[in-house]
Amino acid sequence: MSQKTKARASKKRTVRKRKERRFATHGNYMAPWVAAIGLLGALLLGGGVFGLWIKDPPIEYASYLVALGGLGLGIALWFAQSSLAAIYVGDGGVALEIGTEIERLPWCDIESIRVVSGRLIIRAIPGLGGPPTLSFPLKAHPAAAAWVLKEAAERMPDALDVQKEVLGGLPAPDSSPSTEREIEDAQVAGRRCASSRKVIAFESDARLCPRCGQVYHKDHVPSACVTCEDPLSGRTLQP
């Protein structure tokens, strides 16, 4: 076999891996209402301690202040510990790491992306079986939000419904701190081919649109994606 033939065969065997960026959550953010309850709890607890053990004679209702203050601080500490560990954005769509579970919405399943009351809300097309929505606060995760909007503009621009004022308050996506990883939890088995409606029995039978992640059976890949109209000939990815 000639060197040129070997190089061509090696090139054919090369398969581009699907990748995504991981944005770890920041522990220094606290929702305003949680901060308010914590502050009020601290004030009540301080007043109760003063009235119960420092003031002479003690104030009759000081013990209630101590109890209410401790309750307020406990509530604030509880809700300050977010279960959201990380946000993933990339070839696989958007995913939230909540505890030990990952909830994912591929780009092809997204109906709309909006900002409501300071939260980025990603809504799924009804009836597809995945999570109906994914959401997270912008102030807590500005870097992840910026990357979601950047990727959505390139992959599913029709789903974007975000005002320009919101974009101006986010950091530049390219400057966002994140780590890149290969996607290992595609979970496409059981989905139907978007072209033939044939059920994908094995992940090895699936082929994915490189732009929106739409799923096709390897024997029924159209020339262009039925969702984003991106050309597919020779460009599909494997899960």
Residue 226: CB partners within 8 Å, gap ≥ 6?
Answer: 194, 195, 214
The tokens describing 60, both together, are 């009759």
pLDDT digits (tens, 9 = 90+) for 145-189: 999 999 999 999 999 999 888 878 888 887 667 888 998 877 898
Listed in sequence order, the DSSP H helices in the chain are 3-13, 32-49, 62-80, 142-155, 164-168
pLDDT digits (tens, 9 = 90+) for 3-39: 554 445 444 445 678 999 999 876 555 566 666 776 7
pTM for the full predicted model:
0.73
State the number of CA atoms in the 13 A half-sphere of 158 facing the CB: 8
Looking at the structure, do residues 89 and 175 belong to the same domain, yes or no? Answer: yes
Query: What letter represents residue 214's amino acid?
Result: Q
Looking at the structure, do residues 122 and 160 belong to the same domain, yes or no? Answer: yes
The domain of 219 spans 186-239
As for how many domains the chain has, the answer is: 3
Looking at the structure, do residues 123 and 176 belong to the same domain, yes or no? Answer: yes
Give a yes or no: residue 4 inside a domain.
Answer: no
Looking at the structure, do residues 175 and 91 belong to the same domain, yes or no? Answer: yes
Beta bridge partners of 112: 123
Looking at the structure, do residues 178 and 196 belong to the same domain, yes or no? Answer: no
Give a yes or no: residue 14 inside a domain.
Answer: no
Looking at the structure, do residues 54 and 137 belong to the same domain, yes or no? Answer: no
- Contact indicator for 203, 239 with CB cutoff of 8 Å: yes
Domain endpoint, select from 182, 197, 218 = 182
Looking at the structure, do residues 95 and 166 belong to the same domain, yes or no? Answer: yes
Looking at the structure, do residues 124 and 212 belong to the same domain, yes or no? Answer: no
Round to whole Å and give the CA distance between 220 and 239: 16
Domain endpoint, select from 45, 60, 80 = 80
